[in-house]
Amino acid sequence: MAKVGVEQSLTNIQQALKEKGYDVVELKQESDAQNCDCCVVSGLDSNVMGMQDTYTKAPVIDAEGMSADEVCQAVETRLG
């Protein structure tokens, strides 16, 4: 099953993805995203200082304003 990195604060999304069978990794630092097939972030700290370093080539989903189900659907769509 695909490995999905999820920002620490998004515990409801972590749980929902685990229930769907995904291998969920908590994103505590940039290096955690390196081996993920997809990443889910809250969008709260995106590009804070105008820097946009890329730590992964995997699709990144901004979960801001989305329900856990919507995020799961977005992950499924991206990983198709």
- For 36-76, what is each residue's pLDDT tens digit? 999 999 876 555 444 445 567 888 899 999 999 999 999 99
pLDDT value of position 16: 98
pLDDT greater at residue 55 or residue 12: 12
What are the sequence ranges of the domains in the chain?
3-79
Full-model pTM = 0.84
pLDDT value of position 55: 63
Cβ pair 71, 61 in contact under 8 A? yes
In the predicted structure, residue 28 carries a pLDDT above the cut 80: yes
Q: What is the CATH number of domain 3-79?
A: 3.40.50
* pLDDT band at residue 29 under the 50/70/90 scheme: confident
